[in-house]
């Protein structure tokens, strides 16, 4: 992370007419960043899966390696990274973000803030967060035997995580995709949401703050 600025220069895409190399480098950047941001918040789920797997192995019941579960989880975020890469490409072609991957217009910043704020208040957000914040409940309800079952459980957990946190990742286009501080802030917030599921006001507080911020940007601009 200390060399993020140097890395960002090395993978900086062209302003327009991306080549296959540009797309590949940005996709790699998004994939690594999403894994780094989301894996810490999935630790409780992964540890619960590993514990349940050990119990099943002792009881000589079907089980699968934890690494397969994690692979399924990362597969979802790899797909999300592809969509984020294509979105960045489109925004760059439309001159809505700068080559440094920061919003180039207050309208985009305001829209991202407002959309993220509204989503924080939706039932879908609450449902996905409940699934992500209850590892044991998720595993007991979603358990499937064998390697493919473990991959499927990891994939489903990843899908709920995207439903919970994916919209928040749009804020990276506001603050800067390579902004280490905001990447750390978003990662910490996602972790808190999952570790403090009983603090029901946290998503609402964040949603209200984002809405006010987005409206303020829209009014000022």
The Cα 14–Cα 19 span in angstroms is 8
Q: What is the pLDDT of residue 17?
A: 67
The Cα 102–Cα 7 span in angstroms is 16
Q: What is the pLDDT of residue 145?
A: 86
Closest to 172 (Cα-Cα) out of 161, 184, 164: 184
Task: Kindly tell me the burial class for residue 191, based on how many C-beta atoms sit within 10 Å of its own C-beta (0-12, 13-18, 19 or more).
Answer: middle
Closest to 62 (Cα-Cα) out of 149, 154, 173: 149
Residue 131: how many CA atoms within 13 Å on its side-chain side?
Answer: 19
Q: What is the pLDDT of residue 187?
A: 92
Q: Which tens digit of pLDDT belongs to each residue from 176-207?
A: 887 888 899 999 999 999 888 667 789 999 99
Q: What is the pLDDT of residue 148?
A: 92
Q: Which of helix, strand or coil describes residue 97?
A: strand
Collect the ranges in the chain with pLDDT lower than 50. Answer: 1-11
Q: What is the pLDDT of residue 64?
A: 80
Question: Domain segments of the chain: what residues?
Answer: 4-220
The Cα 106–Cα 174 span in angstroms is 9
């Amino acid at each position: 992370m200390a060399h993020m600025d140097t890395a960002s220069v090395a993978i900086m895409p062209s302003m327009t007419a991306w080549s296959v190399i540009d797309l590949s480098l940005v996709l790699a950047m998004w994939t690594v960043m999403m894994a780094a941001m989301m894996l810490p918040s999935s630790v409780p789920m992964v540890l619960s899966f590993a514990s349940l797997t050990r119990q099943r192995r002792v009881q000589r019941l079907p089980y699968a390696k934890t690494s397969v579960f994690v692979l399924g989880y990362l597969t979802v975020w790899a797909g999300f990274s592809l969509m984020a890469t294509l979105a960045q490409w489109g925004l760059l072609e439309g001159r809505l973000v700068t080559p440094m991957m920061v919003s180039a217009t207050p309208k985009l910043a305001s829209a991202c803030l407002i959309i993220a704020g509204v989503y924080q208040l939706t039932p879908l957000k609450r449902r996905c967060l409940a699934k992500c914040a209850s590892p044991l409940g998720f595993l007991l309800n979603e358990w499937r035997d064998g390697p493919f079952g473990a991959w499927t459980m990891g994939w489903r957990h990843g899908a709920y995580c995207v439903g919970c946190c994916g919209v928040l990742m749009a804020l990276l286009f506001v603050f800067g995709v390579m902004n280490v501080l905001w990447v750390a802030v978003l990662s910490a917030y996602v972790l808190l949401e999952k570790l403090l599921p009983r603090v029901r006001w946290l998503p609402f507080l964040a949603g209200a703050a984002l809405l006010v911020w987005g409206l303020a940007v829209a009014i000022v601009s």
